[in-house]
């Protein structure tokens, strides 16, 4: 009886302040609806878990689900929308500041491996067959995930004007899809680097299976340590600079400039904060991602990325926002994950599957709501004054 009055008071306040497609079911069977026709049920398993509702945040709600103290039934998209409505009762600001992380080589290696080395089988359940773990490029809403990812790879290669015989570097190459496509379709000599041992092993296997080992390779190496005798003609970095850290952006872009020939092209494809002060998403969402999924990740605003890229000696020629494309990509990933949830548990464990279920659905919602965005920024190394080697118009980016 001790909990009856306090929880009634809390739920009464929520019912007055929150409109969400949510049904709350308590440990004793009592139910509370936050709308006329709720599509999601949140089951709280004990009295202690109910305390989360007194000061709800994305983090506290997520931790209750991850620990198994709460269960979610229904559409995950509506579950995330309901979590936002609850969290806004406590938090007014969308963005929050945060202390900046150190990004030593060992710390970055550990963070990367924690995120990417769950298992190749785990990622294969919900990614496309090439295992491209970055934003797709949709030419039509009906495009499949596999089609959109191939279109993205070709869009990058076309933007970089890759030509046979050129030397190409992919910083943060994942499972090698871009490097392989660049070598096979565009005739370049491609090198990819990653800090993930799982990605390195599978990428190497795939390169050999495709017979590309003579002109495509992957190295297990930190971008700060990579060096070559002859500079690359073109460099891409896809989904990498989110791991770099705000204070390390000059080092990151400086490394790309160091490895690139004069007038060579560099394309940075990365997630950005929508907050001009480089803040992370508030209401506990940023803390959840940092603690459980993406340790030490920091997102700059677009202006910070362009500034630091320019300071490193790049002339920026093109900026393309892909936010709608990533929202759609994440919808595909989240749907795939839902369809194979039992398999995800089998190849990892219940806790890991719960974390990623929340993460993928939450990220789809975040991109849809413009809490975060993503841009491709194309620049050329311009250490010496003069014209770039690019055409005068952008028509070449969209040639068939």
Q: Can you say how many angstroms the Cα of residue 318 is from the centroid of all Cα atoms in its chain?
A: 22
CA distances from 380 to 253, 266, 308, 318 (A): 12, 6, 14, 10
Distance CA 324, CA 332 (A): 13
CB atoms within 10 A of CB 322: 23
Q: Is 169 exposed, middle or buried (0-12, 13-18, 19+ CB in 10 A)?
A: buried
Please give the mean pLDDT across all residues of the chain: 92
Distance CA 275, CA 277 (A): 5
Percent with pLDDT over 90 in the chain = 79
pTM recorded for the entire structure: 0.93
More confident residue, 291 or 256: 256
Quote the domain boundaries for residue 55: 4-92
DSSP state of 5: H
Q: Is 287 exposed, middle or buried (0-12, 13-18, 19+ CB in 10 A)?
A: buried
Are 136 and 265 within one domain? yes
Judge whether residue 16 has pLDDT over 90: no
Residues 334, 370, 280, 63: is their CA dihedral positive or negative? Answer: negative
Confidence band of 74 (pLDDT split at 50, 70, 90): very high
> Contact at 8 Å (CB) between 224 and 105?
yes
Partners of 219 in beta bridges: 193
Is there a domain that residue 98 lies in? Answer: no
Which pLDDT score, from 0 to 100, does residue 50 have? 86
Are 226 and 345 within one domain? yes
How many domains are there within the chain? 2
Catalytic status, residue 157: no
Residue 239: which residues within 8 A CB-CB, separation 6 or more? 133, 134, 135, 172, 174, 269, 270, 271
**Tell me, what CATH number does 192's domain have?**
3.40.50.150
Are 268 and 363 within one domain? yes
CA distances from 139 to 128, 143, 144, 318 (A): 17, 7, 10, 19
Of 71, 92, 113, which residue sits at a domain end? 92
Are 85 and 109 within one domain? no
> Contact at 8 Å (CB) between 21 and 37?
yes
Is there a domain that residue 51 lies in? Answer: yes
Q: What is the mean pLDDT of residues 86-108?
A: 74
Per-residue model confidence as pLDDT tens digits over 27-73: 999 999 999 999 999 999 998 888 888 889 999 999 999 999 999 99
Per-residue model confidence as pLDDT tens digits over 106-163: 666 666 656 666 899 999 999 999 999 999 999 999 999 999 999 999 999 999 999 9
Are 63 and 127 within one domain? no
Judge whether residue 104 has pLDDT over 60: yes
Are 211 and 355 within one domain? yes
Of 65, 92, 119, which residue sits at a domain end? 92
């Amino acid at each position: 009886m001790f909990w009856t009055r306090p929880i009634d008071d809390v739920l009464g306040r929520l019912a007055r302040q929150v409109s969400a497609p949510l049904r709350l079911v308590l440990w004793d069977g009592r139910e509370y609806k936050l709308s006329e026709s709720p599509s999601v049920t949140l089951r709280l398993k004990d009295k202690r878990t109910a305390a989360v509702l007194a000061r709800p945040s994305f983090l506290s709600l997520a931790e209750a689900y991850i620990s198994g103290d709460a269960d979610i039934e229904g559409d995950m998209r509506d579950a995330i929308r309901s979590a936002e409505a609850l969290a806004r009762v406590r938090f007014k600001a969308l963005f929050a500041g945060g202390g900046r992380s150190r990004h030593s080589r060992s710390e970055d290696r550990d963070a990367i491996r924690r995120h990417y080395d769950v298992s190749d089988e785990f990622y294969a359940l919900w990614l496309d067959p090439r295992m491209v773990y970055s934003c797709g490029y949709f030419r039509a809403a009906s495009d499949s995930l596999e089609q959109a990812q191939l279109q993205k790879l070709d869009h990058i290669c076309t933007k970089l004007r890759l030509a046979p015989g050129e030397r190409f570097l992919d910083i943060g190459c994942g499972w090698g899809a871009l490097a392989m496509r660049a070598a096979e379709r565009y005739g370049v000599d491609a090198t990819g680097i990653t800090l993930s041992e799982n990605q390195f092993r599978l990428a190497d296997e795939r390169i050999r299976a495709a017979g590309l080992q003579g002109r495509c390779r992957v190295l297990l190496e930190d971008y700060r340590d990579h060096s070559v005798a002859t500079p690359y003609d073109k460099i891409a970095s896809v989904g990498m600079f989110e791991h770099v850290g705000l204070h390390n952006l000059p080092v990151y872009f400086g490394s790309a400039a160091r490895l690139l020939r004069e007038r060579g092209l560099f394309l940075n494809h990365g997630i950005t904060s929508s907050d001009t002060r480089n803040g992370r998403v508030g209401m506990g969402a940023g803390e959840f991602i940092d603690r459980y999924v993406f340790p030490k990740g920091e997102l700059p605003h677009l202006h910070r990325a362009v500034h630091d890229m320019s300071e490193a000696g790049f002339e920026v020629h093109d900026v393309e926002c892909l936010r709608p494309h990533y929202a759609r990509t994440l919808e595909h990933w989240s749907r795939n994950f839902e369809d194979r949830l039992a398999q995800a548990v089998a190849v990892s464990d219940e806790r890991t599957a719960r974390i990623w279920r929340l993460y993928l659905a939450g990220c789809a919602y975040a991109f849809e709501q413009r809490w975060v965005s993503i841009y491709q920024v194309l620049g050329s190394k311009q250490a010496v004054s003069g014209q770039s080697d690019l055409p005068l118009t952008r028509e070449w980016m969209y040639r068939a």
